[in-house]
Amino acid sequence: MLMIDNCGQAFYLNHMKIILAGYNLDSEVIEELKKNSPERQDITPETISAAYARISRDPRPVNELRAVARAEVERARRSNQNIIFKMGHHSVAERAVFNFDLIGLSRLAIEEVEHFRLCSYTEKSQRYITLDGDYVLPEEIKQAGPEFEKLFVETIEAQNEAYRYFYGRLREHFFKKYEKQAANPKNQSILDGWAKEDARYVVSLATKGQLGLTANARNLELIIRRLAAKKNAELEELRRQLYDLAKKVAPSIILFTEASPYETEMMANVGREVERLLAVGETCRNQAGQAKPEEIELVEYSENGDELILAGLLFSAAGLSFQEAL
């Protein structure tokens, strides 16, 4: 038997009870609600983290644990810090989720952020939106001197001018080549997108963009820590703002934010060692008169790949062992 409570927030099936414990709200909505209600401390994702962390050792229902955490926010914060920092249970931080508007970042900075694949992103598309020439002038270029800044700006503006030229010519080309399809207004945005998609090859990594980022606190902490190891002014400013905004809302679950030796040294050391080995390999090939290897080469593949996929399906559906399925 299925019943819904009067509030519409819980579902019951026999002895099962499912409660919607929380969901994302726009920060401006949250601020408006805070203005129109008495001052309170529990408007933070930390209470969810603390309550769920207690499930393994406290027999009370989860909704009661959440109520206790909301009533004792400072205690909940101390609990989070103890569990994450002292006990090493970082999964507690995954209960808290943050959404960030990232506006005015360079393409280079956006690529660095999107390297973290366990987060979610929606990016301003260079295919669907016509670029308007905005770009980031790196602090490093400005500090290098007026002559470097002048050269940089001239180069970027030349690239942007080339983008506008190629976009116009490519658009004309696609509409002419696919004249029949272009006659239908529904197809025109597709053809226009092809022109933008090809024209964008000429623009630089300094081109401004924007994206929406959604990350739980554990992954956000990793982003902040990895950015701390980057020797780049724009990325350092991005790191600072991400940390300051998240720390203000949830100070107990954003803890490990300084770059470790792994972040600061390991990848740089690997890069130097790879350069050395490549140089040695090039020297050896030249001495032996060997041809330069192909730029694209298939180095490994699964033999009988179709059979392996079918065996996996049989293993899942027929109750056979994987060896029997093969």
Residue 42 has pLDDT above 90, yes or no: no
pLDDT at 6 over 60: no
Give me the residue label for tokens 């180069």. Answer: 155
Q: Has residue 1 got a pLDDT over 50? A: no
Distance in angstroms (rounded) separating the CA atoms of residues 237 and 241:
6
Between CA 221 and CA 243 the distance in angstroms is 8
Amino acid at position 326, single letter: L
What sign does the dihedral 69-72-75-77 (CA atoms) show?
positive
Do 215 and 116 meet the contact criterion of CB atoms below 8 Å apart? yes
Question: What is the chain's mean pLDDT, rounded?
Answer: 88
Compute, in degrees rounded to 10, the torsion defined by CA atoms 6, 8, 13, 19: -120
What pLDDT is stored for residue 39 in this prediction?
Answer: 82
Of 69 and 266, the one with more pLDDT = 69
CA–CA dist 130, 128 (Å, integer):
7
> Phi first, then psi: what are they for 21, rounded to 5°?
-85, -20
Task: At 123, give phi and psi (nearest 5°).
Answer: -115, 145
Q: Average pLDDT in the 270-281 region?
A: 85
- The gap from C-alpha 298 to its chain's centroid, in whole angstroms, comes to 29
Would you state the CATH architecture of domain 99-261? 2-Layer Sandwich (3.30)
- Structure tokens given for 127: 């295919």
> What does the pLDDT look like over 312-326, one tens digit per residue?
999 998 888 998 888
- For residue 48, pLDDT over 70 is answered with yes
Residue for token digits 């390999």?
281
pLDDT tens-place string over residues 73-116: 999 898 888 888 778 778 888 889 999 999 999 999 999 999 99
From the list 209, 304, 245, 206, the residue with the least C-alpha distance to 98 is 245
Average pLDDT over residues 186-212: 94
Reading across the β-sheet that carries 120-123, which strands appear in turn?
A: 97-106, 208-216, 120-123
Average pLDDT of 66-76?
A: 91
Over the stretch 112-163, which tens digit does the pLDDT of each residue have? 999 998 999 999 888 788 888 899 999 999 999 999 999 999 999 999 999 9
> How far is residue 227's CA from residue 110's CA, in Å, rounded to a whole number?
12
For residue 280, the model assigns a pLDDT of 82
Place of tokens 């393994």: 56
Asked whether 211 and 113 are in contact (CB, 8 A), the reply is yes
DSSP β-bridge partners for residue 102: 211
Tell me the pLDDT tens digit for each residue of 292-314.
777 888 888 888 999 999 999 99
Predicted local distance difference test score (pLDDT) of residue 2: 47
Query: Which pLDDT value is given to residue 172?
Result: 96
The partner residues of 123 in beta bridges, in order of sequence, read 211
Phi (first) and psi of residue 2, to 5 degrees: -110, 130
The residue ranges of every structural domain in the chain are 2-94, 99-261
